[in-house]
Amino acid sequence: MSIPDAGAAVFSNVTVSGIAGNAPSTLKATVDVKHSWSGDVVLDLVAPDGSTYRLKNSSNTSTPNVNTTYTVNASSEVANGTWRLKAQDVYAQDTGYIDSWKLTF
């Protein structure tokens, strides 16, 4: 999924089912975003109820790509439902895309 240069946020969805109760306090969100200047990229995890958890802020320093695992305290969220990775490029001149992402409960 392409991330527009200095454009609107894009969303990639993952549907979770078959997990009883809430998400853990150590929910792992593993992301692989290909981008020539990763400092342009802001990433949020959006829970099924719309709550947003910031994974990555923009920055002035950068390396290519974002390939990391973030830990999120999502224990107040029901595990089952559609989780979304929200990605936005907030500065001009560089482009990228969401290559893949996953949640580990």
**CATH code, 36:** 2.60.120.260
Closest CA to 69 of 24, 30, 26: 30
Residue 62 is predicted with a pLDDT of: 81
Tell me, rounded to whole angstroms, the distance of Cα 96 from its chain centroid.
14
The CA-based dihedral angle spanning residues 3, 76, 105, 31, taken in that order and rounded to the nearest 10 degrees? 20
The Cα angle at residue 87 between residues 85 and 89, in degrees rounded to 5 = 175
Domain count, the chain: 1
Q: Cα-flanking dihedrals φ and ψ of residue 40, to 5°? A: -75, -20
25-83: pLDDT as tens digits? 999 999 999 999 999 999 999 999 999 999 999 999 888 999 999 999 999 999 999 99
Which residues constitute the domain of residue 13?
A: 2-104
pTM of the model: 0.95
Task: Determine which of 65-69, 90-94, 97-101 has the lowest per-residue pLDDT on average.
Answer: 90-94
14: confidence class by pLDDT, cuts 50, 70, 90: very high
